[in-house]
Structure 1
Amino acid sequence: MFNNEVISARQLRILVLIFVVGSSVLYIPSILTAEAKQDGWIVSVFGSAIGLLIAKLIFTLAKIYPEMNFAQYSEVILGKWLGKLINVVFFINFFMLSGFVLRDVGDFLTIQIMPKTPIHAILIMFALVGVMAVRLGLETLARTGEIFFPWLMIMMLILLLTLTPQVKFLNLQPMFEFGYKTIMRTSLPFIANPFLQLSVFLMIFPNVKDKVKAEKSFLVGVVMGSIILVICTLIAILVLGSYTTSINFFPTYALAKKISIGNLERIEVLMGLIWIISIFF
Structure 2
Amino acid sequence: MSEEKLTMKQLGALTIFALIGDSIIILPSSVAGISRQDAWLSMLLVLLFGPAGCWLMLRLRRLNPSADLIQLLRAGFGRWAGGAVGLAFLYFLVLNTAAVTRELGDLLATQIMPETPIRATHLLFILVLVWGVRCGLPTIARAGEVLFPWFVLFMTALIVLLIPRIEVDRIRPIAAEGFPTILHGSIVAVVYPFAELIVFAMLWPAIRPAKKLARDFMLASLIGGIVMFLVVFISVLVLGPYLTAHQVYPTYALAKKISIGHFLERVEALLAISWMISLFFKGILYFYASLSGIARLFGLRESRALATPLATVVYGLAFAMAPNLVYFNDVGIHFWPYWDITFAYAIPLALLAALAIRGKKPSPAAR
TM-score interval, normalised by the smaller of the two chains: over 0.9
Q: How does 1:1-281 map to 2 (within 5 A)?
A: 1-2=1-2, 4-262=3-261, 263-281=263-281
Q: Considering Cα pairs closer than 8 Å and 6+ residues apart, tell me whether 1 or 2 has the greater RCO.
A: 1
Q: Render the CA deviation track for 1:100-144: whole Å, top value 9, x for unaligned.
A: 111100000010000000000000100110111111111001000
Question: 2:61–2:201: 8 Å Cα contact kept in structure 1?
Answer: yes
Question: What SS does structure 2 have at the residue aligned with 1:11?
Answer: helix
Q: How far has the Cα of 1:242 moved from its partner?
A: 0.6
CA distance in 1, matches of 2:76, 2:65: 14
Question: 1:208–1:214: 8 Å Cα contact kept in structure 2?
Answer: no
Name whichever of 156-165 and 229-238 sits farther off.
156-165
Question: 1:55–1:219: 8 Å Cα contact kept in structure 2?
Answer: yes
Name whichever of 5-14 and 137-146 sits farther off.
5-14
CA distance in 2, matches of 1:189, 1:126: 28
Q: How far has the Cα of 1:189 moved from its partner?
A: 2.4
Partner of 2:310 in structure 1? none
Question: 2:43–2:229: 8 Å Cα contact kept in structure 1?
Answer: yes
CA distance in 1, matches of 2:131, 2:189: 30
- Normalising by the residue count of structure 1, what TM-score does the alignment of the two structures yield? 0.97
Q: Render the CA deviation track for 1:39-92: whole Å, top value 9, x for unaligned.
A: 011112212322211102221111111111111121112111111111101100
**What RMSD in Å do the two structures reach over aligned CA positions?**
1.1
Name whichever of 114-123 and 192-201 sits farther off.
192-201
CA distance in 1, matches of 2:159, 2:9: 25
CA distance in 1, matches of 2:256, 2:76: 51
Question: 1:30–1:248: 8 Å Cα contact kept in structure 2?
Answer: yes
Runs of 4+ in 1 over 4 A off after TM superposition: none
- Normalising by the residue count of structure 2, what TM-score does the alignment of the two structures yield? 0.75
Gaps of 5+ in 2: 282-367
Aligned length: 280
Question: 1:252–1:271: 8 Å Cα contact kept in structure 2?
Answer: no
Q: How far has the Cα of 1:32 moved from its partner?
A: 0.6
CA distance in 1, matches of 2:152, 2:201: 26
CA distance in 1, matches of 2:130, 2:124: 10
CA distance in 2, matches of 1:270, 1:75: 46
Q: Could you tell me which amino acid in structure 2 is paired with residue 62 of structure 1?
A: R
Name whichever of 252-261 and 207-216 sits farther off.
207-216
CA distance in 2, matches of 1:211, 1:90: 27
Q: Render the CA deviation track for 1:244-278: whole Å, top value 9, x for unaligned.
A: 11110100110000100021000011221111000
Percent pairwise identity: 35
